[in-house]
Amino acid sequence: MRKRRVALVGLPPDTSTTLCRALDPRRYDVDQFGTPVSFLHVLGNLRATPPGWSPTYDLVLCRLDMPGISGVGLLLQVRLADPKITVVVSCPTVDDELVSDLQTLGAAVAQEPIEPEVFRSLLERVLVLTARAD
């Protein structure tokens, strides 16, 4: 089984560090991005790789409120770049309308603070959903 790539975008540094430590480095490559713009720059460079070699991310976890680009804006940009990437948008309060709106756009929702166990469980579900693509 190949290692899964995870991008943590716009999360507070302590949250990002905690989530990275919760993941087994033999199973996951985790990249941390302080801003959505820095992530989109890397994602754009990944898309420009030679034919036959297409590194990408399996999951992107971002905040709903980020400087420059919102979590919804990032979700839309990721969908344009690679619709196969699972996007999870985190926010401090979650209601049915927000969940419905984000699911309509193809994202999952996680309530902050995100506990490491919840994050690992979320990744396991992504593995099941994307296993058939390998």
Q: Where are the domains of the chain?
A: 4-133
**pTM for this model (two decimals):** 0.86
Residue 2 has a pLDDT of 75
CATH superfamily, region 4-133: Response regulator (3.40.50.2300)
Predicted confidence pLDDT, tens digits, the chain (134 residues): 678 889 999 999 999 999 999 888 888 899 999 999 999 988 887 655 555 444 688 899 999 999 889 999 999 999 988 888 889 999 998 889 988 999 898 888 888 888 898 888 888 877 676 654 55
Is the four-CA dihedral 129, 104, 36, 109 of positive or negative sign? negative
Residue 38 backbone class (left: φ over 0; alpha: ψ -120 to 50; beta: rest)? alpha
Residue 123 has a pLDDT of 81
Longest dimension (CA), the chain: 42
